Structure formats: C-alpha cells, structure tokens
C-alpha cells in the first residue's frame, strides 16, 4: 500500500505548525502542550482540570491542504499512558465541526490505523446527524483528551502517515 508521511517527529523537526487548544478558551483550567521528548518524539502532555466546566486539552497540526480520499487510512505510531484519546480531522479549518474517532493506549508502542470514512462529525462533544468523513482534503488534524475526569496525560508520537485505500 503506498503511504505518505504526514508528520514524522525527530530531534530537529519544527513544531511551528502545531498549536495547543485547551478548555481555557471557554474558562476552563486544563493545560497541555506539545514539545519534543529527549529522543525526538512528539510529546503531548499536561493536566486536565474539571474546574469552571473545563475538561479537555488538544493539539492541532495544520498541514498544507493534504489531498485525501475517504477510503484512505491514517496510521499513527504512538505510545500512550493507558488513557483514551480522540483523533480529529477537519476538511476545512473554518468548519465548526470535526470528524473524530477514539483510541485506547496501552502504555506500549502501538500502530493505530483508522479509515478516514469511519471518522464521524461532532461539534462540542455532540455527534452530528451528517455523513462520516467524505472530503478530498484535510486542513487540520489533531489529538484531544477529555475523559470527564481530572488527570495528567502523556502521549508520545513517532509519526503520522496517510495510507492509500
């Protein structure tokens, strides 16, 4: 299967096109960040707080218009902390909704693969009555943690790839 690297972390990579969006945008107190680990992996870490109706932290990557087919798959090599995370994409940065899927981490390195067409639309945590991902581009992708509990989190990412379907 032909594949395309969307982002591969290493010690020299720039995080300029990555940004953090926490619940502070709505008054919450969670905090997260993306940095490089000493080994050169992407490190998403922080603390979730439920104060002031908070409860989430996310990071977003803004690739140049990434051409996709809904039958493509996203494969991520990552190592989590035995918590549940959400993978998110937007076909248009200006869209209010995202297409999401959840994945569980084991504490070990994992290869997680998701069919783009399996990602379903949500807005502010609510599933929308619209079709699953069916677009030809991705303008934003990211990760979110929001398990309805106060907790620390840490997710290492090696690379994110697009696999032709």
Rg (CA), the chain: 15
Topology of domain 3-163 in CATH is: Jelly Rolls (2.60.120)
DSSP 4: E
- Predicted local confidence at residue 1, as pLDDT: 61
Question: Tell me: the pLDDT tens digits for 59-74?
Answer: 999 998 899 999 999 9
User: Measured in Å, how far apart are the chain's first and last C-alpha atoms?
Assistant: 8
In this predicted structure, which of 19-28, 43-52, 101-110, 155-164 has the lowest mean pLDDT? 19-28
**pTM summary value:** 0.95
Query: How many whole angstroms separate alpha carbon 80 and alpha carbon 100?
Result: 18
Query: How many whole angstroms separate alpha carbon 137 and alpha carbon 78?
Result: 24
pLDDT band at 122; cut points 50, 70, 90:
very high
């Amino acid at each position: 299967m032909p594949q395309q690297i969307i982002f591969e972390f290493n010690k020299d990579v720039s995080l300029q096109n990555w940004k953090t969006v926490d619940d502070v945008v709505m008054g919450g107190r969670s905090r997260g960040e993306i940095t490089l680990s000493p080994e050169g992996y992407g490190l998403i870490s922080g603390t979730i707080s439920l104060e002031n109706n908070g409860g989430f932290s996310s990071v977003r990557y803004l690739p140049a218009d990434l051409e996709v087919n809904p039958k493509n798959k996203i494969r991520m090599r990552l190592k989590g902390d035995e918590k549940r995370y959400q993978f998110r994409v937007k076909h248009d940065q200006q869209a209010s909704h995202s297409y999401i899927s959840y994945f569980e981490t084991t504490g070990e390195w994992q290869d997680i693969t998701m069919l783009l067409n399996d990602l379903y639309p949500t807005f502010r945590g609510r599933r929308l009555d619209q079709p699953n991902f069916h677009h030809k581009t991705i303008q934003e992708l990211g990760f979110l943690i929001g398990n309805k509990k106060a907790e620390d989190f840490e997710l290492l990412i090696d690379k994110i790839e697009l696999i032709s379907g």
